[in-house]
Amino acid sequence: MTPKELVLDFYKNDLMLHKSEVTEFLHEDLIIEWNSSKGFVQMKKEDVLNLSDELSKAYVRSKMRITHIIAEDNTVSVRYSHFVKTIENPREEMLLAHFFVIWEIKDGKLYRGFQMSQFS
Which residues have CB under 8 Å from 104's CB, separation 6+? Answer: 74, 75, 111, 112, 113
Work out the end-to-end distance of the chain between its first and last CA atoms, rounded to an integer number of angstroms: 33
Q: What is the mean pLDDT of the chain?
A: 97
Q: pLDDT, tens digit, for every residue of 79-112?
A: 999 999 999 999 999 999 999 999 999 999 999 9
What pLDDT band is residue 120 in, cutting at 50, 70 and 90?
Answer: confident
By residue range, what is the domain housing residue 10? 3-119
Classified as helix, coil or strand, 74 is: coil
**Domain of residue 34, CATH code:** 3.10.450.50
pTM score of the predicted model: 0.93
State how far the Cα of 90 lies from the Cα of 84, in Å rounded to an integer. 9
For residue 10, is pLDDT > 80?
yes
Domain count of the fold of the chain: 1
State how far the Cα of 70 lies from the Cα of 53, in Å rounded to an integer. 29
